[in-house]
Structure 1
Amino acid sequence: MTNHQDREFPAAGRLAELRSGLDAVERRIDAACAAAGRPRSEVTLVVVTKTYPASDTRLLASLGVREVAENRDQDAAPKAADCADLPLTWHFVGQLQTNKVRSVVGYADHVHSVDRLRLVEALSGAVLRAERPELGCLVQVALDKEAGEGEGRAGVAPEDVLALADAIADTPGLRLDGVMTVAPLAGPLAGDPAAAFTRLAEISTAVRATHPAATMVSAGMSGDLEQAVAAGATHVRVGTAVLGVRSPLG
């Protein structure tokens, strides 16, 4: 399937741009793993394709990308349908409203942004109705809430992570995969991604004490992936460093 967005970039030139960006990010991850004494195989690159057309996702797949992420269902659902023939794993990483759950369950393999019990219940119901395999869920941790900041932001406070993790693990149709965070903009960890990701690693260790299979630690983006790898991230979510900067699709 093609659409008007797929004609936005000349394919050959865009392929070269994407190859260059992807190679640069892979070199950064290689160097970060080497510096941290970690095998490269421990870190998965998830390319965040939000605001970019399905044609870019196809080109990335031709370059060997297998893990892609989206943060808005209205963009992700048609793109996933367009790319349904590709061997891709889809990650949903944005704030998720319950009225979008049915759609997201139709294509996502992992939801990184589980932050409340009502969402857990909605995801479970949608998975069971769809009769699909278990959906992987990560608890989104809002590190600024540990200091009483960021009350309006997505994510749960660190002290509430274990309870939500237990709920996910105990809910039919869902699989607890791990934890996710974004470097906080407020609180004592603001401006210090290394400390923030170290705190996430501590929270991950606490979760795995009860749920050993919840090994995913999703942290790090284009600007701070090295700090995330150093702190033990298993998945880094990188968009602009691979795809470049462009205006949103709308």
Structure 2
Amino acid sequence: MTDRKDELAANLAKVERRIADACTAAGRERDEVTLIVVTKTYPASDVRILSELGVRHVAENRDQDAAPKAAACMDLPLTWHFVGQLQTNKVRSVVGYADFVQSVDRSKLVTALSKEAVRTGRELGCLIQVALDAGESGRGERGGLAPEGIGELAGLVAEAPGLRLAGLMTVAPLTGEYAGREQAAFGRLLDLSTDLRRSHPTATMVSAGMSADLEQAVAAGATHVRVGSAVLGVRPRLR
């Protein structure tokens, strides 16, 4: 356990330095960017170590892994983010532990989240996932909706009982005009966030950037970066 704690502490320090350097380069204060550690595929024991090391935000993308992990760590001062594509049949479970759902991308999901948030007496922060690679279907490869759909869905979230419109999230596209142009993609997300805040001024979260491209996300104005492997190591393959 001591070896693992030392490993995570060293990795965390490197990521913190990367974020700090990126903030300096962008003329931003370090406290303008929140680190979310993506703990998917890693055990609750790692989450516990991260909490001891000062991490306060963690993210998961599969409910079947996240629910028991969150239950095992419910005594810790953590904010839980759900970042994966979310099916409506998993909403009841996810609302039980998530403080934020960053992958809201359709009206049916808004309705289900609202119903469950009201039933449990919780307020759930919601980020609209934007697909910058959305084709004619209006959907992205990794989930999300086309930028043209943000306004309508944001209105639904803002009016839904039990939900709070927190901001926007994206994943750097692998195809389309932004493929290989991460900073441009994240800059586009910030422009969309600026537009959104004209009608929803409290929707200030801009979640973008992961282990490989956090510097580009910070440069573009992201408020939250989602980092997994740079902190926890190369992920074991899921069977």
Moved more, 42-51 or 162-171: 162-171
Q: Kindly provide the amino acid, as one letter, of the partner of residue 145 in structure 1.
A: A
| Distance in structure 2 (CA, Å) of the matches to 1:110 and 1:246 | 23
* Contact in 2 for aligned 1:220/1:237 (Cα 8 Å): yes
Tell me how far 1:131 sits from its aligned partner: 1.6
Q: Kindly provide the amino acid, as one letter, of the partner of residue 79 in structure 1.
A: K
Residues 1:247 and 2:236 aligned together: yes
| Distance in structure 1 (CA, Å) of the matches to 2:79 and 2:157 | 21
Residues 1:182 and 2:171 aligned together: yes
Pair 1:185–1:249, CA change in 2 (3 A): closer
Deviations 1:105-143 (A, max 9, x none): 0000000000000000000001111122x1000000000
Report the aligned-residue RMSD. 1.4
Residues 1:124 and 2:128 aligned together: no
Listed as ranges, the gaps of 5+ residues in structure 2 are none
Residues 1:35 and 2:6 aligned together: no
Match of 2:201, SS?
Answer: coil
Moved more, 148-157 or 176-185: 148-157
Residues 1:142 and 2:143 aligned together: no
Match of 2:199 among 193, 207, 210: 210
| Distance in structure 2 (CA, Å) of the matches to 1:20 and 1:49 | 16
| Distance in structure 1 (CA, Å) of the matches to 2:208 and 2:141 | 20
| Distance in structure 2 (CA, Å) of the matches to 1:94 and 1:176 | 18
Corresponding position of 2:222: 233
Tell me how far 1:148 sits from its aligned partner: 7.0
Tell me how far 1:248 sits from its aligned partner: 3.9
Corresponding position of 1:156: 145
Listed as ranges, the gaps of 5+ residues in structure 1 are 1-10
Pair 1:149–1:157, CA change in 2 (3 A): closer
| Distance in structure 1 (CA, Å) of the matches to 2:165 and 2:215 | 25
Tell me how far 1:145 sits from its aligned partner: 1.2
Deviations 1:183-228 (A, max 9, x none): 0011111110010000000000010000000000000000000000
| Distance in structure 2 (CA, Å) of the matches to 1:44 and 1:247 | 26
| Distance in structure 1 (CA, Å) of the matches to 2:9 and 2:118 | 39
Tell me how far 1:162 sits from its aligned partner: 1.1
Pair 1:77–1:98, CA change in 2 (3 A): same
| Distance in structure 2 (CA, Å) of the matches to 1:151 and 1:15 | 37
* Contact in 2 for aligned 1:149/1:187 (Cα 8 Å): no
Structure 1-normalised TM-score? 0.93
Corresponding position of 1:63: 53
Tell me how far 1:153 sits from its aligned partner: 4.0
Deviations 1:74-109 (A, max 9, x none): 000000000000000000000000000000000000
Structure 2-normalised TM-score? 0.97
Corresponding position of 1:51: 41
* Contact in 2 for aligned 1:29/1:225 (Cα 8 Å): yes
Match of 1:189, SS?
Answer: coil
Equivalenced residues, count:
239
Pair 1:147–1:20, CA change in 2 (3 A): farther
| Distance in structure 1 (CA, Å) of the matches to 2:45 and 2:211 | 21
| Distance in structure 2 (CA, Å) of the matches to 1:241 and 1:153 | 21
Q: Kindly provide the amino acid, as one letter, of the partner of residue 161 in structure 1.
A: I
* Contact in 2 for aligned 1:149/1:186 (Cα 8 Å): no
Residues 1:19 and 2:42 aligned together: no
| Distance in structure 1 (CA, Å) of the matches to 2:97 and 2:139 | 30
